[in-house]
Structures are given as C-alpha cells and as structure tokens.
Amino acid sequence: MRTSPAVPPPALFALSGLSMYLGSAFAVRLFAQVPAASVAWWRVAVAAVVLLAWRRPWRRRWSARELGLMGAFGTTLALMNTFFYLAIDRLPMGTAVAVEFTGPVVVAAVAGGRRERLGILLAAPGVALLAGVTLQVGGSQAVPGLLAIGAAATCWAGYILLGRRVAHAGDGVTRLGVGMAAGALVLAPVLAPPGAPVLGSAPLLGAVLGIAVLSSVVPYGIEQVVLRSVSAATFAVLLATLPAMAVVIGAVVLGQWPHPAEVVGLVAVSAAIALTSRRPVPEEGTPA
C-alpha cells in the first residue's frame, strides 16, 4: 500500500480518524436496537473476518507461543472496544476518547523521561475537568460511563505493551486479524447476542458490517500507510487531533456539543498526547 503524492499523510490521517469516529457514532445510534457490548463484539468479529480474508494467515504455520501472544493481544483489544462502547453509550464521545487516551499517556510516562512526565501533568487536570463536567451534567449514567472508559484506558495500556511484542514479530496486520479472531472467540460466550438477531436482519447486519469497516479496517489500513510516511514528531501532533475529531463527530452526528470547561480539558489532554507520542508503532495506533 503506497501513499499517493496527491494525498498528503496528514489528510490520510484525518480520513482515518473521521472514519473511526463516524463508525463509533453510528454504533451509538445502533445501541437502541442491539446492546452496546454486543455491537462491540460484532465489530471485532466482522473486522476479524475481513482481515483474515485479506491476509489469509492459514498459509503459514504458527507456533503455540505466537498464537498465545496474539490471543492475549486480541482479547485485550476486544475488551477495550467493549468498554469503550459501554462508555459512549453513557458519555459524550469526545470526553470518552480523551479520557481513554490516559492509557497510552501513562504507559509513555512510565517508560519515558521528563517530557513524558510533563504529559501526565497536563493530562491529569484535563481529565479532572472532563470528569467533573460529566458528573455535573451526566446524571446517573456518568459514573458507570467513567468507570467503563477507565477500564478501556487500562486495556489500551495493556494493548500497547502486548502490541510492541506483536509488532516486533513482523506482519502486524496479519497478526492483528488472528488476534481479533481469537478475541472474538474468547468473548463470544459472554458478549455474542443469544439467538444472533443481527444475522436475521439485513439492516442490522449491514450496520455492524459498516461499523466494523469504518472503525477498524479503514483506520488500521490507513495507519499502516501514514506510519511509514511521517516522522514520529509529526505523528504525535496528528494523534493529538483525535479527541478534537471525536468532539466534532459527536457534535455533528449525535448533537453532543461540548461545555467550555470540556474544551479546556480536551486541549490539555491533546497537549499531553502530543508530548508522549514520539515513538509510534503500527500496533500502538488508534484502536478505539
């Protein structure tokens, strides 16, 4: 996959982010018909099928150790997506995305130096502002929503640590597909909807297929191009725009207009992301 000179990497990255959060916004609209956790499971399962059909991992032999690592990686990814969907069922999408980024920010701060620790000092008050406004205006749904996005952030941290090991093994997209398939299988007894109502409805099946393609397949594919075309510093700045993209999509598609204090919190978190995202790896991307 090569970047066309006519499409600069920042534009591709913007397309990736818009695709990802449009998929999330469409998922929110689907929650009235299918529970959020089940939509998350369908997203992972359908994306796994698409990636497996594309990469055809059965053409090579895998060791038990490789399969175990990919299984842990994919299960962590599936849990992260599930908690994220449970959160955006209760919180504004921009707030959820910003708070979820505390996972990679903390990982970077623990493994990094002074610059990364400064990121924590910026992120902490930003998250406090976002959580405070959410608790004030969110009612009874705010607390479970914040707990869910905190769990998603924790899963994202685990996903990054496992993703580094997967990335070093090579062929990240193929391993991602195998991992997502494993995650879907592991969580199927808990999250797969009984009776599979999605399979009995063409509109619902089309909706989950669209969500999987928009939120997983398109962003991961574009990210592989962008990461090979920009410097680490540029990628950090691009990554910092994602909470803002989520806010815009949430406002336009879902009518979730941010409070002024939330805007301040989002700016603080975005600055923290820019400071702590200097070493991008394909598997450490934007999986929400």
- Reduce the DSSP state of residue 80 to 3 states and report it: helix
The DSSP secondary structure of 26-79, one letter per residue, reads HHHHHTTTS-HHHHHHHHHHHHHHHHHHHH-GGGS---HHHHHHHHHHHHHHHH
- Per the CB < 8 A criterion, the answer to whether 236 and 278 are in contact is yes
Mean pLDDT of 187-205: 80
- The per-residue pLDDT for range 49-87, each reduced to its tens digit, is 988 998 899 988 889 999 999 999 999 999 999 999 999
For residue 98, pLDDT beyond 70: yes
pLDDT for 287 equals 59
Closest of 102, 101, 91 to residue 36, by C-alpha: 91
- The per-residue pLDDT for range 251-266, each reduced to its tens digit, is 999 999 999 999 999 9
Read off the tokens for 93.
């999408």
Read off the tokens for 157.
């941290």
Amino acid at 266: L
Q: Comparing 185 with 229, which gets the higher pLDDT?
A: 185
Q: How many C-beta atoms lie closer than 10 Å to residue 58's C-beta?
A: 9
- Per the CB < 8 A criterion, the answer to whether 30 and 211 are in contact is yes
- Reduce the DSSP state of residue 139 to 3 states and report it: helix
Domain spans in the chain, listed from the N-terminal domain onward: 9-283
pLDDT for 48 equals 92
Confidence of residue 2 (pLDDT cuts 50, 70, 90): very low
Q: Residue holding tokens 């842990």? A: 72
- The per-residue pLDDT for range 12-54, each reduced to its tens digit, is 888 999 999 999 999 999 998 889 999 999 999 998 998 899 8
pTM for this prediction:
0.89
Closest of 256, 251, 262, 243 to residue 133, by C-alpha: 262
Read off the tokens for 74.
């994919």
- Reduce the DSSP state of residue 272 to 3 states and report it: helix
For residue 282, pLDDT beyond 60: no
Which residues make Cβ contacts (< 8 Å) with residue 209, sequence separation at least 6? 46
Mean pLDDT of 266-272: 93
- Reduce the DSSP state of residue 2 to 3 states and report it: coil
Looking at residue 230, what DSSP letter applies? S
Measure Cα distances from 80 to 1, 13, 110 in Å.
28, 22, 20
